[in-house]
Amino acid sequence: MKFRSDPSTIRGSIAPVVTPFTAEGAVDQAGLRSLIRFQLESGSHGISLGGSTGEPSAQSGAERIEAMRTAVEEIGDRVPFLPGTGSHKLDETLEITAAARELGADAALVITPYYARPTQEALYQWYATVAREFPDLPIVAYNVPSRTAVDIAPETVKRLFTDFDNFVGVKETTKDFEHFSRVLHACGRSLLVWSGIELLCLPLLALGGAGFVSAVANLAPSAVARMYELWEAGEFDAARDLHYRLHPLVDLLFVETNPAPAKWVLHQQGRISSPHVRPPLTAPTDAGLAKIRALLAEGGDLTQQIKTQRAHQDRQIGAAE
């Protein structure tokens, strides 16, 4: 809860952690704790649960709340916690958001209601209801039109940002990079904007973005965090080098529907006990696995290498001082 009073501190690489399941399909709370520890040890600047990578629509509200409780216990106040609390139902969204507030989340990530395809006025009313209900909790809209079939217009974001002090930002998961610019132009750079599109994470920083919520952080958390740190330090060429080196892992994530490929890799690495995904998702096909293995061979060094490099650099800095 330390970051709730100043949401502008929620910056950098916010890792959207997968929800591990047992082979029988139950939520693996011990596995979730292990993944969160992995992210913290690797230098991620924040933790998110319950976004698309976390398979929220395949879980009950009670399961999502219990996962948040596990995350809060593991994270403490070490980094910001930004759980996804939205669904296609308003009552469920309010219930999960209320739980997030009580558990100590620093902000709530609320997806646009999917399937219904609401108008812009309806989207405004949806988010206005959430913002009014929780005036002491920062609210972040999650715009992901490829999954919800609706796009929050920059003008709607501006209305919400103007009308509600606790509406603080938006996670933009659209490949229309012009949209990013129009949102920031409409609202000003005090609006917090994170990229949910892996290959637009670094470019967004040039526009004044707050960081990114990148699924590739599940596989290479140190590299993703380091890319942000290098940019902030003005080491632009080094940041760009990491951006391009991450390409194979980004492609790996989407060989088949995310998060099935990521879970397969995490299971192979021994980080989770099972690669299980819940229906309607399925495990990667044999053809998909061949592509995943090839891409992992190409970019897999980043799952280990950057952490070692950062430790070496930290030792060098300490020696110089």
Strand, helix or coil for residue 195: strand
Q: Are 167 and 131 in contact (CB under 8 A)?
A: yes
Using the structure block, give the residue that is written with the tokens 């999502």: 64
Dihedral of the CA atoms 108, 215, 72, 268 (nearest 10)?
160
CA distance 90 to 113: 8
CA distance 234 to 252: 29
- R_g of the chain computed on alpha carbons: 19
Catalytic residue among 127, 171, 228, 307: 171
Whether the ω angle into residue 275 lies within 30 degrees of 0, i.e. cis, is: no
Catalytic residue among 124, 127, 142, 228: 142
What is the C-alpha end-to-end distance of the chain, expressed in Å?
34
Active site residue 263: no
Active site residue 171: yes
Active-site amino acid positions: 142, 171
